[in-house]
């Protein structure tokens, strides 16, 4: 699908509000994009319809990010959780009006993830044992999919998600970039869908656009309360 700056902006601002609400710092200052807001804007701007998070930690800030994006695009987030998620009900209180776009699945991710086809946006926890093997197994949308890896231990595994996916059937092009500590972003696409600009330009332009809209919103907010 075509990139939607409006979806990206709205998801970014919604996630920014949520991250401020649950911040332990209690600060109301608008800050430069952190990974929560950035991931949400990226998924929404791509107009991802089927998103999946595979986690060892239960409901995470990334769950909120993807749920906001799914709400924006009219899509669905499949969240595959570990069996022993004891504080699941408590964590769900943070979701508020986002729960209707999330399908929670408890079970073995190697079995549960295989039930879904052509995933548009995947978030994968590097703490999951065998996560690189799982990455090879899941059915990603070959015409354009974004994968975010977090809790990655490069010293232990020595390979990026992009290196793993380059050998996957149906993947024509794969580019990986670091986006934070122990985090990386990988985009795959087919030759027929390849864009003229590469991922670095894509990321740079997205950050510029998001910063513009956040600043515009900030000045509007200041004027509205003056």
pLDDT string in tens for the chain (226-residue length): 677 888 988 888 888 888 776 655 444 443 344 678 889 999 999 999 999 999 998 888 889 899 999 999 999 999 998 766 555 555 666 676 788 899 999 899 999 999 999 999 999 999 999 999 999 999 999 888 999 999 887 656 667 888 888 867 767 778 888 877 788 889 887 655 554 445 555 565 556 555 655 554 554 455 455 5
Looking at residue 27, its pLDDT comes to: 42
Looking at residue 51, its pLDDT comes to: 98
Total domains present in the chain: 1
Structure pTM? 0.79
The alpha carbons of the chain give a radius of gyration, in whole angstroms, of 17
Tokens 């911040």 correspond to: 23
Residue 123 has which token pair? Answer: 């978030």
Return d(Cα 17, Cα 102) in angstroms, integer: 19
Q: Where are the alpha helices (DSSP H) in 117-198?
A: 131-137, 154-157, 161-165
68 has which bridge partners?
Answer: none
Return d(Cα 154, Cα 156) in angstroms, integer: 5
Residue 119 has which token pair? Answer: 């995933």
Other beta carbons within 10 Å of 111: 10
Residue 26 has which token pair? Answer: 């209690």
Eight-state DSSP code of residue 1: -
Return d(Cα 108, Cα 144) in angstroms, integer: 26
Q: How far is CA 36 from the centre of its chain?
A: 8
Q: How far is CA 221 from the centre of its chain?
A: 27
* Host domain of residue 185: 5-225
Give the CATH number for residue 153: 3.40.50.150
Looking at residue 200, its pLDDT comes to: 58
């Amino acid at each position: 699908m075509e990139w939607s700056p409006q979806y990206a902006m709205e998801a970014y601002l919604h996630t920014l509000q949520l991250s401020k609400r649950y911040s332990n710092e209690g600060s109301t200052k608008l800050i430069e994009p952190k990974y929560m807001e950035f991931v949400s804007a990226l998924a929404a701007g791509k107009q991802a319809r089927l998103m999946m998070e595979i986690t060892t930690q239960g409901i995470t800030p990334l769950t909120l990010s993807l749920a906001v994006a799914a709400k924006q695009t009219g899509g669905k987030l499949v969240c595959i959780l570990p069996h022993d998620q004891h504080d699941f009900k408590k964590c769900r209180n943070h979701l508020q009006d986002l729960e209707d776009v999330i399908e929670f699945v408890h079970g073995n991710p190697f079995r549960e993830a295989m039930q879904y086809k052509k995933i548009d946006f995947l978030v994968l926890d590097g703490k999951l044992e065998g996560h690189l093997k799982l990455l090879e197994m899941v059915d990603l949308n070959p015409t354009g999919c974004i994968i975010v890896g977090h809790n990655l231990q490069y010293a232990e595994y020595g390979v990026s998600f992009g290196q793993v996916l380059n050998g996957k059937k149906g993947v024509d092009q794969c580019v990986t970039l670091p986006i934070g500590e122990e985090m990386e972003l990988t985009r795959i696409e087919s030759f027929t869908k390849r864009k003229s600009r590469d991922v670095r330009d894509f990321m740079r332009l997205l950050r510029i656009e998001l910063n513009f809209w956040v600043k515009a919103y900030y000045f509007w907010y200041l004027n509205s309360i003056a």
